[in-house]
């Protein structure tokens, strides 16, 4: 994925904030177009898939907002990090990742029913690639704790 693609993934995943609400909608549409381009669906499958995706995206966005708060807290305390604070931040991050995986686990049967398991697996591969790009960009931008 290109650097532009990574930045777009960061924006649509809520890690980098867009300039304003209209742009936020543009980025959500761009993410949707990325999925549409890589997940061929019949019109009937699309009619079943996209409402489930919209609910998934709503729930994922709530987790993403909490994840963003984690990075803000990490940044605000980077130079004065104590062992106790580091422990709390890491455990919160692990908790968020567990919640994200629970969300994936909860939604997979819904997607698999809507578009069959093979296509749902393909969609999860697309989501994994987006998440990997986001994580790689975050890892590149955040220095190690001293």
Please report the DSSP string for the chain in residue order: --HHHHHHHHHHTTSS--SSHHHHHHHHHHHHHHHHHHS---HHHHHHHHHHHHHHHHHHHHHHHHHHHHHHHHHHTSTT--HHHHHHHHHHHHHHHHHHHHHHHHHHHHHHHHH-HHHHHHHHHHHHHHHHHHHHHHHHHSPPP-
91 is a domain residue: yes
30 is a domain residue: yes
Q: Is the model more confident about 116 or about 19?
A: 116
pLDDT tens digits for range 57-104: 899 888 877 877 777 777 777 788 889 888 988 898 899 999 999 999
How far is it, in rounded angstroms, from Cα 5 to Cα 84? 36
101 is a domain residue: yes
Distances (CA, A) of 86 to 13, 19, 98, 142: 24, 31, 18, 14
Residue 105 belongs to domain spanning: 3-141
Tally the domains of the chain: 1
pLDDT at 19: 45
78 is a domain residue: yes
The pTM of the full predicted model, rounded to 2 decimals, is 0.77
146 is a domain residue: no
- Out of 6-15, 39-48, 118-127, least confident range: 6-15
Say if residue 123's pLDDT is above 50.
yes
């Amino acid at each position: 994925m290109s650097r532009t693609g990574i930045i777009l993934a960061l924006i649509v995943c809520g890690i980098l904030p867009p300039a304003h609400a209209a742009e936020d909608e543009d980025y959500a549409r761009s993410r949707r177009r990325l999925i549409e381009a890589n997940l061929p669906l019949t019109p009937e499958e699309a009619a079943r898939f996209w409402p489930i995706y919209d609910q998934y995206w709503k729930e994922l966005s709530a987790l993403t907002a909490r994840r963003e708060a984690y990075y803000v807290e990490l940044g605000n305390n980077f130079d004065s990090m104590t062992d106790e604070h580091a422990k709390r931040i890491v455990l919160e991050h692990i908790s968020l990742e567990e919640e994200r995986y629970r969300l994936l686990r909860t939604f997979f049967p819904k997607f698999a029913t809507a578009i069959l398991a093979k296509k749902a697996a393909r969609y999860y591969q697309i989501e994994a690639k987006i998440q990997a790009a986001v994580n790689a960009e975050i890892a590149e931008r955040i220095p190690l704790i001293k």
